[in-house]
Amino acid sequence: MRLVATGDALLAPSITRRLVERFTAADRAPRAPAVHHDLATLTPRELEVLTLMGKGLSNAELACALTLSEATVKTHVARIFAKLALRDRAQAVVLAYETGLVLPGEPRPAPP
């Protein structure tokens, strides 16, 4: 058996080959779908807020774009997080992309 030096460790080529095959096979395997979130639980306004949040708008920008107070926007955001079991805005943005509410390359709404 021939051994290959990798820094301080030695690996047989057959082991290296099996490791590479195992990890590349995992990349080719179908991935489990993202956690299902029932967007039907959201009101039309919450869906609108989530979509704009996904485009990167802050609470102040959301309030201005939707003609709402910041307090009302914060309430909508909190309800979205609760209904969809989201931890933070980053998860909300990911969800907006995963569900197709926001598509890559879509322009961000212009400030009023």
Q: Distance between CA 64 and CA 60 in Å, rounded?
A: 6
Residue 75: its pLDDT value, please?
98
Q: Write down the pTM of the prediction.
A: 0.66
Question: What is the per-residue pLDDT across 8-33, written as a single tens digit (0 to 9) for each?
Answer: 666 677 776 776 677 666 555 554 44
Query: Mean pLDDT of all residues in the chain?
Result: 82
**Residue in the block written with tokens 């979509």:** 51
% of the chain with per-residue pLDDT over 70: 71
